[in-house]
């Protein structure tokens, strides 16, 4: 009798009680599989962005030091290479899909103010980095620049309402002590033949100031996307990066002309080690590397947060001293080794906080990422 009722229910298209229970049991598993696939794709795109930042930052920093070591001396030319590659972004910008008719468009006046203000900040921040890179060995420069993560933790808290936990506070303190340790042990670096004598304190202060400004710029990028643009597309990532860097390039060109450095370029090119071709290749390689790193940074800001983007930048910094010892014969003293280990510890401290946020969110993404996923617009891969 029960079997006959089951057959009648199937003929009528009504599921029996057992099949309903089976579907109810399978639904969470299907949702978990979908969540896993989405999470895997998300992490793959994040890893690609991180590799762009790591490779771009490392190569650009080493080429920047090579420029000075091989005879280059123009601070404004070195500054221009950090933003001068922005016209290259026109190519991927033209390949992105056209915006839909429903896409929200921010006011032109607001975006012009953002492009100009942030672009000018980037231009002078690049100038401070250029001076610091000439006045410090590249290994010391990179380790002190790791303090940008600490500065960004503060700006993210004040501007972007980022949670400031004990682990993040530990990361800030450790990175601060790492930089202070290098400041105390400066005497061994001042003996380097490639570093101007007596300029170490100036370079140290400049790289600290540049790191603080860089942290502020990242937080302003995140604030702009949250409050002004309010969409997350590849097109806006490229626009934001290209237009702000064009303004920064204009600042560099004005500085190059006003300072008279442009008159020294022909002689600098002629006296450059291994000739003019290497001079051009060094500058072009530096410009392309900085743009690759910058695009990766902006994409990470969009996908996660400005703090996560800065953590990735910080991860690249301990790699530079290793290459600097091999390529430029920088002295790897005991103080530098301890400072490097402290920088890595600060990075791991933040990443552990990221892992805890992911566990609390109940999936592979951090809490910030889960919030991003609930927004209307999603940045494509």
- Number of other residues whose CB lies within 10 A of the CB of residue 335: 18
Residue 270 lies in a domain: yes
* Backbone phi and psi for residue 114, each to the nearest 5 degrees, phi listed first: -65, -50
> What integer pLDDT is reported at residue 189 of this predicted model?
53
Which segments in the chain show pLDDT lower than 50? 9, 20, 191, 193, 363-381
Residue 28 has a pLDDT of 59
17 in a domain, yes or no?
no
- pLDDT of 289: 93
User: For residue 366, what pLDDT is reported?
Assistant: 44
Instruction: With beta carbons less than 8 A apart as the criterion, state whether 119 and 248 touch.
Output: yes
The stretches of the chain forming alpha helices (DSSP H) are 2-11, 17-69, 75-81, 90-95, 108-135, 138-145, 148-160, 166-184, 200-224, 234-259, 265-271, 276-303, 306-316, 319-327, 334-361, 367-373
Residues near 228 by beta carbon (within 8 Å), at least 6 away in sequence = 106, 110, 111, 114
The verdict on residue 149 lying in a domain is yes
Tell whether 11 is covered by a domain.
no
pLDDT for the residue 3: 53
Total residues belonging to the chain: 381
Domain encompassing residue 161:
50-97+106-374
- Distance of alpha carbon 286 from alpha carbon 80, whole angstroms: 10
Whole-number pLDDT of residue 197 = 66
CB 233 within 8 A of CB 320: no
pLDDT digits (tens, 9 = 90+) for 192-223: 546 666 788 888 899 999 999 998 998 998 89
Number of domains in the chain: 1
Instruction: Tell me whether residue 43 is in a domain.
Output: no
Residue 320 domain-assigned (yes or no): yes
Q: Is residue 79 part of a domain?
A: yes
Are the C-beta atoms of residues 140 and 332 closer than 8 Å to each other?
A: no
Query: In the chain, what is the greatest distance between 2 CA atoms, to the nearest angstrom?
Result: 102
344 assigned to some structural domain: yes
Whole-angstrom distance, CA of residue 114 vs CA of residue 108 = 10
């Amino acid at each position: 009798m029960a079997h006959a009722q089951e057959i009648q229910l199937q003929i009528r298209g009504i599921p029996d009680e057992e099949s309903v229970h089976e579907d109810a049991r399978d639904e969470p598993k299907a949702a978990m599989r979908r969540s896993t696939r989405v999470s895997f794709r998300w992490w793959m795109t994040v890893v690609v962005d991180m590799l762009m930042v790591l490779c771009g930052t490392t190569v650009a920093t080493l080429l920047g030091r090579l420029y000075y070591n091989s005879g280059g001396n123009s601070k404004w030319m070195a500054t221009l290479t950090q933003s001068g590659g922005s016209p290259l972004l026109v190519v991927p910008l033209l390949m992105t899909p056209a915006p839909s008719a429903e896409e929200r468009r921010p006011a032109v006046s607001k975006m012009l103010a953002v492009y100009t203000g942030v672009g000018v900040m980037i231009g002078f921040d690049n100038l401070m980095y250029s001076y610091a890179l000439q006045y410090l060995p590249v290994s010391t420069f990179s380790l002190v620049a790791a303090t940008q993560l600490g500065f960004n933790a503060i700006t993210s808290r004040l501007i972007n309402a980022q949670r400031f936990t004990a682990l993040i506070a530990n990361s800030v303190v450790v990175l601060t002590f790492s930089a202070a340790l290098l400041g105390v042990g400066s005497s061994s670096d001042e003996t380097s033949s490639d570093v101007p004598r007596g300029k170490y304190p100036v370079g140290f202060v400049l790289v600290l100031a540049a790191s603080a400004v860089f942290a502020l710029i990242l937080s302003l990028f995140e604030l702009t996307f949250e409050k002004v643009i309010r969409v997350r597309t590849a097109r806006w990532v490229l626009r934001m990066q290209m237009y702000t860097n064009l303004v920064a390039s204009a600042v560099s060109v004005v500085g190059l002309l006003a300072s008279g450095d442009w008159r020294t370029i022909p002689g600098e090119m002629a006296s450059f080690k291994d000739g003019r071709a290497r001079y051009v290749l060094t500058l072009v390689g530096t410009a392309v590397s900085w743009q690759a790193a910058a695009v990766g940074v902006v994409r990470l800001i969009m996908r996660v947060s400005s703090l996560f983007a800065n953590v990735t930048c910080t991860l690249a910094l301990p790699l530079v001293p290793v290459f600097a010892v091999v390529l430029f014969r920088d002295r790897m003293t005991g103080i530098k080794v301890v400072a490097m280990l402290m920088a890595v510890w600060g990075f791991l401290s933040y990443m552990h906080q990221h892992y805890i946020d992911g566990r609390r969110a109940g999936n592979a993404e951090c809490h910030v990422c889960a919030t991003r996923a609930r927004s209307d617009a999603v940045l494509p891969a």
